[in-house]
Structure 1
Amino acid sequence: MSDVWVDEWLGTARFARYVDACSGDRARALQLYEWNVQAGQALMHDIAHFEVALRNAYDAAISARWRSRTHWLLDAESPAVVPIWRTKTVKGMKRGADVNTLTRKSVDSAIARCGSAKATSGKVIAEMTLGFWRQLTTNAMEKTVWVPYLHRAFPPGTQRSEVDRAIERVNALRNRIAHHEPISTQSGSVDAEQVHREMLALLRGIAPQVHEHLTATSTVAIVFARRP
C-alpha cells in the first residue's frame, strides 16, 4: 500500500529527516515522527511549569527591591525598558547601540495587548514570552538586572552566565517543539534530555516545591524510554 500520503501530509523534506534517521525505513520513520510529537508534548508540559515558576520568581525578586509604587514592568524607569547603551564594532567601525530595544518593544507590545493604560502587572507578566525572561539574564543586563535583583532568585553563588545559557537552551528547545521540528538526538538535533536536566536544576534552585511537583508529574523519562 502506498504511503505517498505521508509526504503530502508532512512534506517530503520534513519526512526525509526521519527517513534518514531510520536508514530509509519509512515505517519506522513514521513511528519516530509520532514519538517526536509525544516527546514534544511531554517536554512542553514541563517547560510550561518551569516558565511560570521562572517569571514569578523573577517578578518577586525585582518587586521586593523596587522602590517605586508603580510595578517595575509598568514603570518608565524599568530596567526592562530604559535604554542600555553599549559600543559595538560593525564592519570595523564602532557604533553605539541600545541593547534594550527588543525587551522594550516586548514590554510595550504586551502592555498594549493588555489595554495600555488599563493594563495590570499580572496580565502583562502573563503576556511576556520565555524569550523575554531569558533576555533579563544576558550579559547586557548584568549590572542593571542581575546584580541588583535577579541573583537573589537563585541560590548563593549561582553564575548569571550559566543561568542565561540554560534558559537560552530551554527557549530554543521550546521553539523547536512549537515549530514541529525534530528533537531526537538521533535525527541530528538538540539533546533534549540534557536541556531538560539543566532546566530541572534551575527549577530546583528557584522553586524547590515546584521542582518536587514537576518531577512527580513529568512523563519525559517515560516517553524517552519508548524512543523507537
Structure 2
Amino acid sequence: MTTPHPGPGGWVEAWLSAPRISVYLAAAAGDRQRALDLYEWNTQLSSALLHDLAHLEVGIRNAYDQALTQHAQFVPHWTTNPQQVFAPVLRTKKVYDPSVGRRVSRRVDVNDKPRKALQRAISEAGGMNAPPGKIVAQLMFGFWRYLSSAAHEVPLWRPYLHHAFAAGTSRPDVDVRMGDLHELRNRVAHHEPLLSWNLVKAQQQLVELAGLISPDLAQHITTSSKVAALLASRP
C-alpha cells in the first residue's frame, strides 16, 4: 500500500508566511500540495489580470488626455496647470481625527490629492518642460480612477471628460467600474488572494469599460486575455 505524499514542507511557510499560506490551505481543505497549486494559480491569474488592466489603463489615460487636450483651454497643456485643472473644491467629509480618536466632519479640499499627484508626475517626468506624454505616463491608475468621482462632475466631466467615452455614457457608471477595478488592481499588485473574488464580474466590468472607450479595444482585450482560461482551470 502506497503512503500518501505529505506535500510541500515547512519551507512554504518560511517563504510565504504562515498567515498567507493558511488562506490557501483552508481553500484546499488542508491539502498542502493543492494549497501550493492554488497559490501558483492565483499568481498566474494575477499576472493575467494585470495584463488586461494595463491595456485598460493605457486606454483610459489616453482617452482622458485627448478629451482634455481637445476640449479644454488649458495652455500650453493641461498637465502643466495643476492649480487650474484641480482648483480647490471644498466638501464636508468624515475624516479620522487622532486627537479625539474618531471620525469627525471636516471641510477638505477633494482636489488636493489629484493636484499633488499631477505635481509629482511633473517632477518625476523632468519638470515643467517635460513632454506632456511623459507626464501622462507617470500618473498612476488611482489618479485616473478619481477623475470620474462626483467631485469632478461639474468642473471636468460635463465640459471635457465625457468626450473620452461613447455618447451618453453615465459618469456614475464609469465611476463604479473604475472603483471596483482600482480595488482589484491594488489587490493583485500586492499579491493578495483572489479565491473569493467575483472575477467573472470584474472581467465583465473591465471589458465593458474598455468598450465605452473603443469597441476595438474591448475586442482586443477579450481575445488576448488569459483570464477566462485560468478561471476554468482552477485547481
Q: Identify whether the pair has TM-score above 0.5, normalized to the shorter chain.
A: yes
CA contact (8 A) 1:61 1:150 kept: yes
Partner of 1:85: 90
Aligned residues: percent identity? 41
Matches within 5 A, 1:174-193: 174-185=185-196, 190-193=197-200
TM-score, length-scaled by structure 1: 0.92
The separation in 2 between residues aligned to 1:214 and 1:19, in whole angstroms, is 33
Partner of 1:204: 211
Q: 42, 45, 55: which one pairs with 1:49?
A: 55
Q: Which runs of 5+ in 2 are unaligned?
A: 1-5, 96-101
CA apart distance, 1:96? 2.4
Partner of 2:46: 40
Q: RMSD of aligned C-alpha atoms?
A: 1.8
Provide Cα deviations, 1:26-74, integer angstroms capped at 9, x if missing partner: 1111110000001011111111001000100111111111223311121
2:14 is the alignment partner of 1:3 = no
Amino acid at match of 2:38: L
Amino acid at match of 1:192: L
2:199 is the alignment partner of 1:219 = no
CA apart distance, 1:220? 0.9
Give the direction of change, closer, same or farther, for the CA distance of 1:93–1:9 in structure 2 (3 Å limit). closer
For the pair shown, the structure with the greater C-alpha radius of gyration is 2
Q: Secondary structure at the match of 2:71?
A: coil
TM-score, length-scaled by structure 2: 0.89
CA apart distance, 1:157? 2.6
Matches within 5 A, 1:1-228: 3-79=9-85, 81-88=86-93, 95-185=106-196, 190-228=197-235
Tell me whether 112-121 or 217-226 shows the greater mean CA deviation.
112-121
Q: Secondary structure at the match of 1:158?
A: coil
Provide Cα deviations, 1:150-209, integer angstroms capped at 9, x if missing partner: 112222332211211111111111111111101122xxxx21221111010010110222
Q: Which runs of 5+ in 1 are unaligned?
A: none
The separation in 2 between residues aligned to 1:94 and 1:35, in whole angstroms, is 44
Q: Secondary structure at the match of 2:79?
A: coil
Give the direction of change, closer, same or farther, for the CA distance of 1:75–1:11 in structure 2 (3 Å limit). same
CA apart distance, 1:94? 5.4
The separation in 2 between residues aligned to 1:37 and 1:196, in whole angstroms, is 17
